[in-house]
Amino acid sequence: MESSDNKKCSFTGHRVLSCYDFDPALLDRVILNLIKNGTQTFYCGMAQGFDLAAAESVIYYKKEYPVRLIACLPCPEQSQTFSKANKTRYENVLKNCDEVTILSDEYYKGCMHARDRYLVESCDLLVCFLRKNSGGTFYTVNYAKKLNKKIIEL
């Protein structure tokens, strides 16, 4: 029986974190706090940077807590342009997901935004790492605001 406390969380953030004030320990604390307050399902868009960091944090907590991680891929070839190191991280995260949702059979212009909308529509709250007023993260956060989703900004 699923508890009514089963809250759902999605993640969005920048692909390159090194040029910003990203704090992985803060991300870990936020995720742990969400888990302790009833969040059991986490959706990840699987992009480089923040998405993979968030997924890895959830995977760490899966060892101790009954949480689910769902990968939401815009298309099967998402990791095609990733560096070798990020492809390895991506594959490791995929192996540790409870479910994988592929939103399009192939890449098309706009498939990333479709994935972002899916993430927002699937969640009760959005954890974001937003530092610039353009790009996919900005788009996703604004879509979440439009749908009156709770947003936690790191």
Tens of pLDDT along 127-137?
999 999 999 99
Q: Does the residue 82 lie in any domain?
A: yes
Helix axes 84-95, 50-62, angle to 10 degrees: 40
DSSP assignment of 69-125: EEEEESSTTGGGGS-HHHHHHHHHHHHT-SEEEE--SS--TTHHHHHHHHHHHH-SE
Q: How does pLDDT run across 50-80, given as a tens digit for each residue?
A: 999 999 999 999 999 999 999 999 999 999 9
Confidence of residue 5 (pLDDT cuts 50, 70, 90): low
Q: How does pLDDT run across 76-117, given as a tens digit for each residue?
A: 999 999 999 999 999 999 999 999 999 999 999 999 999 999
Q: For the domain that residue 68 is a member of, what is the CATH number?
A: 3.40.50.450
Q: Does the residue 26 lie in any domain?
A: yes
Give the contacts of 78 (CB within 8 A, at least 6 positions apart).
46, 47, 90
Total structural domains within the chain: 1
Residue linked to tokens 């993430």: 119
What tokens appear for 17 in the block?
A: 């974190």
Q: Does the residue 2 lie in any domain?
A: no
What tokens appear for 153 in the block?
A: 């900004």
Structural domain boundaries enclosing 139: 7-153
Q: Does the residue 1 lie in any domain?
A: no
Q: Does the residue 113 lie in any domain?
A: yes
User: Is the separation of the CB atoms in 104 and 75 below 8 Å?
Assistant: yes
Rounded CA-CA distance 2/69 in Å is: 16
